[in-house]
Amino acid sequence: MSTLINKVLFTRAGYGLTILRIFVGIIFAAHGAQKLFGAFGGYGIAGTAQYMESIGLAPGHLMAMLAGGTEFFGGLALIIGLLVRPAALGLTFLSLVAIFSVHISNGLFMANNGYEFALALLGGSLAVLIEGAGKLSVDRAITD
């Protein structure tokens, strides 16, 4: 196997990272489904695109597709444990954009639409990016 591919897929992380990865993946995939499909009370592409435009992220349709796609497919990647480092990199970037474009001016706490929740997801994404997928993952099965 190529050295680059092995570095991307390799993990020494244990079961704890596996659990964190799956829970963070579920949250991201659900948020992506809200944006892309209008699932779970979401607004779908059209509503998300309109919101993105309203906060200055233009073109709104493209931004909605990028954000929703990154959350949904990145979340699925975390859940199954396949290519988790590239997925976590995308989710890390997405979380930073959410924090600095939407939540930072509202302070820390979620009660005021602050960045508390996005910060927690950022931490989970960074942990997966650094440590890899963990013991129970497709990535680990490929590299063993």
Confidence of residue 1 (pLDDT cuts 50, 70, 90): low
The pLDDT-based confidence of 6 (bands split at 50, 70, 90) is confident
pLDDT at 2 over 90: no
Could you read off the pLDDT of 105-121 as tens digits, one per residue?
Answer: 999 999 999 999 999 99
The mean pLDDT of the chain is 95
Is a pLDDT exceeding 80 seen at residue 72? yes
pLDDT digits (tens, 9 = 90+) for 16-49: 999 999 999 999 999 999 999 999 999 999 999 9
Q: What is the mean pLDDT of residues 77-86?
A: 97
pLDDT of residue 36: 98
How far the first Cα of the chain sits from its last, in Å, is 11
Specify whether the CB–CB gap between 75 and 28 falls below 8 A.
yes
In the prediction, which pLDDT does 70 show? 98
Confidence band, pLDDT 50/70/90 cuts, at residue 5:
confident
pLDDT of 12 above 90: no
Question: What residues have CB less than 8 Å from 74, skipping those under 6 apart?
Answer: 25, 28, 32, 87, 88, 90, 91, 94
The answer to whether the beta carbons of residues 32 and 12 sit under 8 Å apart is: no
